Amino acid sequence: MILGRMDQSASILSAPGHALYISFYPSLQSQPTPLPTSSKTPTAFVIANSLTVSNKAETGKSRYNLRVVETLVGAKVLSRILGVPTQLNERATYREVLQRWWNQEGKEDGENSLKAEITTLLQGGYLEQLKGKDNDGVLLEEMVTMSGMSNDDFTRVFLSWVEVEATHFQLYKRAQHVFTEALRVLQFRDLCFENSEGLPEKLGQLMNESQESCSTFFECSCPELNRLTSLANSLGAY
C-alpha cells in the first residue's frame, strides 16, 4: 500500500485559524494561510463525516495505487509531448516535468510563476493528448506505446513495484485534476491573503469545483460525499 505525505505534514505543521499551504517540491515547505474572519460576515468552515469507509488495503490496487501509477505514467507521456527529457528508469512527477518544461522555454520556475506555468499548460491543449483512442481510457498496450518505452522497461519502471488492477487507465482525467486542483490551491491561497469583498463566495466556488473534479476526474469521492456536499449547498453553504 502506497502512502501519501499530506495528512502527516498537516497534522504536524498546522496552526489555529489558518489553512496550510504545503509544497513538496523541491523539498517540504509550508505556509500558514489566514482563513477569512469578519465581524460583519462571520464565516465557518464545516467539517463533516460521510461515515463511508474507504478500505485502501482492499481497494488500493484498483483505486489509490492505480491513481499513483496513472499520474506517474501520465507525467512520462506528458514529458514526451512537451519534449522534456527524462531518464529511462525515472518516475518523474508532474511537478518535475512542469519545472523542466518551463526552464526549457527559457523561463525561471518557482512559486511566483507557478500559476502562470499551470495556466499556460492547460490553455495549450497538451493534456488532451493523454486521452488516447478510447473514450473509456487508455489500454495497457497503448499506454506503453505512448510512453516510448519497451514493454519490459515499462513494466519494470511503472508496474513491478506496486500491484494495480485495470483494463483502462485514466491518464487524461488524472492529469486534468492534478493541474486544475494545483491551480485552485494557489487561487485559494491568494484570495485568503487578499481578503477582498465576497471572499466566502469565491472560496466556496473553488471548493465546489474541487469536489466536482475529485468526483469526475480523480474519482476519489463517493456517492455519500457527493450527496453531503449537494445538501450543504442547497441549505446555503458556499
Q: Is the pLDDT of residue 102 over 60?
A: yes
Instruction: Mark whether 7 is an active-site residue.
Output: yes
What is the chain's mean pLDDT, rounded? 94
Q: Any idea what DSSP says for residue 137?
A: B
Reported confidence tier of residue 56, pLDDT bands at 50, 70, 90 = confident
Q: Specify the range with the lowest mean pLDDT, choosing from 53-57, 65-69, 127-131, 212-216.
A: 53-57
Mean pLDDT score, 149-171: 97
pLDDT bin (cut points 50, 70, 90) of residue 1 is low
Average pLDDT over residues 126-155: 95
| pLDDT tens readout for residues 26-52 | 999 999 999 987 767 778 899 999 999
Q: How far is CA 148 from CA 85, 115, 134, 203, in A?
A: 12, 29, 19, 41
Can you say whether the dihedral through the CA atoms of 210, 212, 217, 222 is positive or negative? positive
pLDDT bin (cut points 50, 70, 90) of residue 132 is: confident
112-124 residue pLDDT tens: 999 999 999 999 9
Residue with cell 519502471: 157
Answer for the pair 51, 224: CB distance below 8 angstroms, yes or no.
yes
Lowest-confidence region among 9-13, 140-144, 208-212: 9-13
**Choosing from 7, 134, 153, 190, which is the catalytic residue?**
7
Model pTM above 0.85: yes
Report the alpha-carbon distance of residue 119 to residue 115 in Å, rounded: 6
Per-residue pLDDT band for 21 (boundaries 50, 70, 90) equals very high
User: Is the confidence at residue 182, as pLDDT, over 80?
Assistant: yes
Comparing 93-102, 128-137, 140-149, 155-164, the range with the smallest average pLDDT is 128-137
State phi, psi for 222 to the nearest 5 degrees.
-155, 160
Counts for the chain of helices (H) and strands (E), in that order = 10, 2
